[in-house]
Amino acid sequence: MNSLAKRLLLDSKQGILILSPAQEEKRNQLLQYYSALYRVWGPQHWWPAQSRFEVIVGAYLTQNTAWTNVELALANLREADLLSVEGIRKVSLGKLQSLIRPSGYFRQKAVRLKTFVAFLDEKYGGLLDRLFAQPTLQIREELLNLSGVGPETADSILLYAGNHPVFVVDAYTRRILDRHCILPGKADYEEIRELFQRALEPAIRQQEFMLANGAPMLEAGFRGTAHPPSVMSTSARTALVQVYNEMHGLIVGVGKNYCKKSQPKCDDCPLQRFLPGVK
């Protein structure tokens, strides 16, 4: 982890990050994005998976490919009864490659899945419970040390498989921030993550209040990228994790449906009123 990442994580933990007025303004904007999107779309039910290990496999397979291709690869693994730690451990590399072929870069991804299971076996006796019982920072560092695991994959695994409170930054997040002149698209991953984590603090307090008072969840309206409820999307989690979970899902909804790489559909987008220059 680079020094900026370490400093931001430390500052975040200790709550001592001092923000400039410009940073405060950016934070407020992001909180408004969350409120606006959640109001129109409701819960997105991420991640569509039946187990923590399925989330992990999906996080690897989704690198550089569309989710529809990942679904085909996951279906192959499920049909072969290999979508488990034990399954990936025992299957031959060649067979694994052919099963996950639809997800692209299948040779590389098969080796990486095997590497993850070898790491889990060696360090945690093959048990995800033991891995996810470790402190967030420790798991993050260990995941980042594995071949083929960058910050987005590590954080997806932490947040969606482990229910650890880490916001996931993806290409859609960068595109929206860039187009709305909040941060350049090439901004440091940790800077973006920190900005979102700070921005969402009031939403987390509201979520805590709702949970404490048994408020019903909103029903999803138009479904940005909402998935049907799954074992993983309905698992118990803290308000902090829930808000990071939703925000990432909502952003993917904007990216997939409106904020496309070319020809964004700003006129129909729920974030249009926040676009600089739009009154």
**By CB under 6 A, which span of 162-170, 189-197, 198-206, 260-268 interacts with ligand SF4?**
260-268
Spatial CA neighbour of 65 closest among 101, 91, 117: 101
Q: Which residues of 138-162 are buried (b: 16+ CB within 10 A; e: fewer)?
A: ebbebbeeeeebebbbbbbbbbbbb
Amino acid at 20: S
CB neighbour list of residue 191: distance below 8 Å, 6 or more residues apart: 4, 8, 183
- Note whether 269 binds ligand SF4 by CB under 6 A: yes
Binding ligand SF4 by CB under 6 A: which of 264, 276, 277, 279?
264
Residue 259: CB minimum distance to ligand SF4, A: 3
With H, G, I as helix, E, B as strand and everything else as coil, classify residue 87: helix
- Note whether 162 binds ligand SF4 by CB under 6 A: no
Binding ligand SF4 by CB under 6 A: which of 78, 101, 114, 179?
179
H or E element: which one contains 175? helix 171-179
- Return the number of the residue (137 or 275) whose C-beta is nearest ligand SF4: 275
Residue 171: CB minimum distance to ligand SF4, A: 13
- Note whether 177 binds ligand SF4 by CB under 6 A: no
- Return the number of the residue (204 or 271) whose C-beta is nearest ligand SF4: 271
Q: Are 54 and 74 in contact (CB under 8 A)?
A: yes
Residues that bind ligand SF4 (CB under 6 A): 176, 179-180, 254, 258-259, 264-266, 269, 271-272, 275
